[in-house]
Amino acid sequence: MDLRLPSKVLEHIFSFVDSNEDRNSVSLVCKSWFETERLTRKRVFVRNCYAVTPAAVARRFPEMRSLTLKGKPHFADYNLVPDGWGGYAWPWIEAMAEKSPALEELRLKRMVVTDECLEKIAASFKEFKALVLTSCEGFSTDGLAAIAVACRNLRELELRECIVEDLGGDWLSYFPETLTSLVSLDFSCLDSEVKLSDLELLVSRSPNLKSLKLNRDVSLDALGSLLRLAPQLVELGTGSFSDKLDQEAVSKLSQAFTELKELKSLSGLWDVLPEYIPLLYSVCPGLTSLNLSYATVQMPDLVELLSRCSNLQKLWVMDLIEDKGLEAVASSCKELRELRVFPSGADVDETNVALTEQGLVSVSEACPNLESVLYFCAQFTNEALVTIARNRPNLKCVRLCVMEPFAPDHKTQQPLDEGFKAIVEGCKGLQRLSVSGLLTDKAFEYIGTHGKKLRMLSIAFAGDSDLMLHHLLSGCESLNKLEIRDCPFGDTALLENAAKLETMRSLWMSSCGVSFGACKLLSQKMPKLNVEVIDEHPLKTRPDSSPVEKIYIYRTLAGPRLDMPEFVWTIHKNPEIGVSNLAIE
């Protein structure tokens, strides 16, 4: 009896399979499932743009309508990846223009996008609907103008924390009068002023506009008129919130806010003056997401605001909130799922010392749905970490940044090993972890032993020896991304656990103790990995024993990349170099 379902039936069934993780599993069942799945996949995620070639992706997924790409490694966010390393969008856009002209959505993260790229998109994809660029760079407002003028069905244009060369605010005027399909517009990262009249015209002819994130230059006055034109907004990013308005303007603005019946997400609020905070009260009860991380609001005002946000699920705030403010959050925001507390000063000296580990402990106690935490603070204790783990075993993401490197438990002067042990032991579903403070190899032994679901791990200034890396690579079964800086270990653990690297997306190590010889050996042993040595100050001759500045290792089906700058070395550059006698214990 032939148990194979006809492909039409399979197609129909697969159309209900949304998550790509599931789709990937589906593809592995058998050839016919692989075929049917690939012919029906519309949204493709390539999480490392160098892991596979654009042509291969286009070939496999002919019905692709949405492509998401990530380029540079995460540590590029902190300036650890030199300019010119790579992550170019052009080859992808060029390939898709030719092979997948029906593409509708492009979402790029940490990639270099030029005006040429944007012009190509505008010219090639007739049904183009959504462009979302996160932490990208290399383009100017001219490129935006090209998108605006040509994409007749544009729904989303979002620039999140991009570096854009600002050649003037005219680009907005390039949206044709016939464009009425806009759903989401985010230009919050742009520096210069846009013409208010252009913006107002655009907003007034966009009845479907749900998300609008303005840049800093949009005044409070302008905000008022925009809100009156778009009371249906679900997400709002304000501009600067600090102009002095007269009484009438204030009350008009207040009225505009009360009309925002659908508002769920609020951000922006740069320089918000305390007297304007009450303007926001009317939207607070409906908010599920609030980003105050650029708002220098002091604790008492924060408490007033947050105590009204009973439905809040996501809160981003600065350490100005202090422990007291977080206690207020704990008592008012019972639905909280994600908390991020950012430092108000770049140096540990300048951070607010009234924010301690206690703030996070309070929130962990009182918010049952808390899953994701990013917390910058001056110092921490093991006791606090143990309490947090006990309170919140459902934590999935814990990123703790103790601002001072090597800072021990400030009460006991011990390393924070035991605290992080409690976290990995107690939070059994933990997927992402960033550790900091004083840590010995023991901490990593614990993480290796207990962090079975851990997918991403970030480490800085920690550990004593190779054992640290060995524990992680041999213990963390689900490890997908590992990024390490300034930790004292060498080659042994890396070479002994080489096979593990093929099961991971990538490994980043900078300012550690890996030698050039080990990199060469690893490259030879593991042809399915690209082992990139990134060294802006290379020696003229590199002895095998010399340590390398940075390495980035990732698995790939695409082989060596063709766009490597001078300061990136892989074995493919010098295949004739043999590996000299290397004593590996």
Closest CA to 419 of 360, 483, 477, 474: 360
* C-alpha span between 108 and 110 (Å, rounded): 7
Q: Contact between 524 and another protein (CB under 8 A)?
A: no
Cβ 78 to another protein, closest distance in Å? 3
The least distance separating another protein from the CB of residue 413, rounded to whole angstroms, comes to 7
* The two structure tokens encoding residue 280: 């926001």
457/514 with CB nearer another protein: 514
Q: Tell me phi and psi for residue 487, to 5 degrees.
A: -125, 140
Minimum separation from the CB atom of position 77 to another protein (A): 5
* Per-residue tokens: 113: 């996008």
- Between 153 and 465, CB nearer to another protein: 465
Task: Write phi, then psi, for 333 (nearest 5 degrees).
Answer: -110, 75
Options 464, 497, 524, 579; binder of another protein; rule CB under 8 A? 464
* Interstrand relation of 105-109 and 137-140 (parallel, antiparallel or unpaired): unpaired
- Based on the shown chain and the rule CB under 8 A, indicate whether residue 325 belongs to the binding site for another protein: no
- Which of 67, 424, 454, 518 lies at the binding interface for another protein (CB under 8 A)? 518
Other C-beta atoms closer than 10 Å to the C-beta of 261 total: 11
Rule CB under 8 A: choose which of 278, 393, 513, 560 binds another protein: 513
| Cβ 172 vs Cβ 197: under 8 Å | no
**Distance in angstroms between the alpha carbons of the first and the last residue of the chain:** 58
DSSP summary character for residue 76: G
| Sole binder of another protein in the list 166, 365, 544, 563 (CB under 8 A) | 544
Residue 224 structure tokens: 């008022």
Residue 284 CB, nearest distance to another protein (Å)?
24
CB of 492 to another protein, least distance (A): 4
Assess 566 for contact with another protein (CB under 8 A). Answer: no
Nearer to another protein, 256 or 501 (CB): 501
Closer of 122 and 136 to another protein (Cβ): 136
Scanning 148-156, 234-242, 273-281, 515-523 for contacts with another protein by CB under 8 A, the matching segment is 515-523
136 touches another protein by CB under 8 A: no
Which range of residues in 119-127, 400-408, 445-453, 555-563 is near another protein by CB under 8 A? 400-408
Question: Could you say which of 33, 61, 75, 446 contacts another protein (CB under 8 A)?
Answer: 75
**Strand locations in 255-371 (E):** 265-267, 289-291, 314-318, 338-342
Cβ of residue 195: shortest distance to another protein, in angstroms?
24
489: contact with another protein by CB under 8 A: yes
Instruction: Tell me which residue of 474, 494, 475, 497 sits closest to 484, measured CA to CA.
Output: 494
What residues pair up with 266 in beta bridges, in sequence order?
236, 290
Q: Quickly tell me which residue has 């197609």 as its tokens.
A: 11
Q: Write out the binding residues for another protein, residues 282-321 only, by CB under 8 A.
A: 293-294, 296, 298, 320
Tell the smallest beta-carbon distance from residue 488 to another protein (Å).
5
Which listed residue (140, 181, 394, 465) binds another protein by CB under 8 A? Answer: 465
Q: Contact 279/253 with Cβ under 8 angstroms?
A: yes
| 405 touching another protein, by CB under 8 A | yes
227 or 512, CB closer to another protein?
512
- Selected from 119, 156, 357, 549, the binder of another protein by CB under 8 A is 549
Q: Give me the least distance between CB of 578 and another protein, in Å please.
A: 17
Q: For residue 20, how many C-alpha atoms fall within 13 Å in the half-sphere facing its CB?
A: 13
Between residue 179 and residue 238, which ones bind another protein under the rule CB under 8 A?
A: 189
> What single DSSP character describes residue 548?
P
Quick one: CA dihedral 236, 239, 243, 248, positive or negative? negative
Tokens linked to 473: 């690579």
Beta carbon nearer to another protein, 200 or 544? 544
Examine residue 132 and tell whether it contacts another protein (CB under 8 A).
no
The answer to whether the beta carbons of residues 120 and 97 sit under 8 Å apart is yes
Q: Which of residues 78-97 bind another protein (CB under 8 A)?
A: 78-80
State the helix-helix crossing angle for 357-366 and 322-332, rounded to 10 degrees.
Answer: 0
Residue 33 or 516: which CB sits closer to another protein? 516
Q: Is position 349 an interface residue for another protein (rule: CB under 8 A)?
A: yes
Strand 550-555 versus strand 529-534 pairing type: antiparallel
Radius of gyration of the chain measured on its C-alpha atoms: 26
CB 406 within 8 A of CB 461: yes
Nearer to another protein, 169 or 408 (CB): 408
Residue 537 interacting with another protein (CB under 8 A)? yes
Q: Which is nearer to another protein, 73 or 169 (CB)?
A: 73
Nearer CB in complex with another protein: 151/467: 467
- Residue selected from 414, 449, 497, 524 as contacting another protein according to rule CB under 8 A: 414
DSSP string covering 187-248, please?
Answer: -TT--SPPPHHHHHHHHHT-TT--EEE--TTS-HHHHHHHHHH-TT-SEEE--B------HH
Footprint of another protein on residues 350-369 (CB under 8 A)?
350-354
Residues 157-176 that bind another protein (CB under 8 A): 161, 163
515 contacts another protein (rule: CB under 8 A): yes
- As a whole number of angstroms, the distance between CA 23 and CA 314 comes to 29
The two tokens of residue 515 are: 């030698």
For residue 227, the minimal CB distance to another protein (Å) is 24
